[in-house]
Amino acid sequence: MSLDNALWLFGSLIEAAVVGLLVYRRAWRTLPVFCLYSAWDLFSGISAYVVLRFFPSSYFTAYLGETVVDSALEFLVLVELAWSVLRPYRASLPRGAFAAVAGLVGALGAAVWPFAVIPGFGNLPSQWHLLMHTQQTASILRVLLFLVLAGSSQLLSIGWRSRELQIVTGLGFYSMVSLVVAMLHTHQTMGPQYNRLAQVVMVSYLCSLVYWVFCFSQKEAERKQFSPQMQRVLLAVAGGARSARVTLADSTQSNRRKR
């Protein structure tokens, strides 16, 4: 068995273990999108292997479709993680807070997009260039979310036993390796060295999967209330939003009276 096939087989087994642990821990109650993403990852990996082995001429089309779905799910996972971190105080947040979080992640992705172009990829065919550009943008977003959550963990009262930080740590590690390898690829031609770099990315992903298996095999730590500083920030945001709604409602009623 070749190393590539061995890595794929081991990866599929670990992905199945992650999905099984998510079901066992009933993680779909708090993190449904991540559960869906994990199941999709397992299914798409098996499907890609079958297509590459038996229908190689259709591989690019299948890979393109898989990447589109994968990128959409990854974006939703990031939104879900950012929203889940606010769980202890969500009842105090104004209506539309979830849409604001999703919009913030989307705006961050739009800001990252122009800087996600790695030199050398511009010479690729347009389809591959768009594909790589999308993947690099998603990788940078995952790394940024990891840095934000890890850097503000004390403020958010989350630790390494919190599911959100565990998930984003696995995503961040794999993404950082992917970005480094993508930059190294621009200086490599197709050959054994190029393939070894691709295997490094696969190994980093396997490390993230093994880390998740270790994390999900243990009970999640009980979430604590936010720090006083964070509570004051959220109260200020909630108060500002309520004031804006009241002002808007008063303005609307005043305009109706004038008519």
Contact 167, 34 (CB under 8 A): yes
Contact 171, 80 (CB under 8 A): no
Task: Give, for all 259 residues of the chain, the pLDDT tens digit.
Answer: 788 888 889 999 999 999 999 999 999 999 999 999 999 999 998 998 889 888 888 888 888 888 889 989 999 999 999 999 888 777 777 778 899 899 999 999 999 998 887 766 656 667 777 788 888 899 999 999 999 988 888 777 788 889 999 999 999 999 999 988 887 766 555 555 667 888 899 999 999 999 999 999 998 877 666 556 655 655 565 555 454 454 444 454 555 555 5
What's the alpha-carbon Rg for the chain, to the nearest Å?
22
How many whole angstroms separate alpha carbon 136 and alpha carbon 183?
10
Task: Please tell me whether residue 79 adopts helix, strand or coil conformation.
Answer: helix
Give residue 18's pLDDT.
Answer: 97
How many whole angstroms separate alpha carbon 124 and alpha carbon 5?
27
How many whole angstroms separate alpha carbon 101 and alpha carbon 203?
32
Could you count the other beta carbons within 10 Å of the beta carbon of residue 215? 21
Of 222, 213, 221, 217, nearest in space to 38 by CA: 213
How many whole angstroms separate alpha carbon 132 and alpha carbon 138?
10
Give residue 228's pLDDT.
Answer: 64
Give residue 164's pLDDT.
Answer: 92
Give residue 53's pLDDT.
Answer: 85
pTM: 0.82
Give residue 230's pLDDT.
Answer: 59
Task: Please tell me whether residue 197 adopts helix, strand or coil conformation.
Answer: helix
Burial of 16 (0-12, 13-18, 19+ CB in 10 A): middle
Give residue 143's pLDDT.
Answer: 94
* Neighbouring C-alpha atoms within 13 Å toward the C-beta of 196: 6
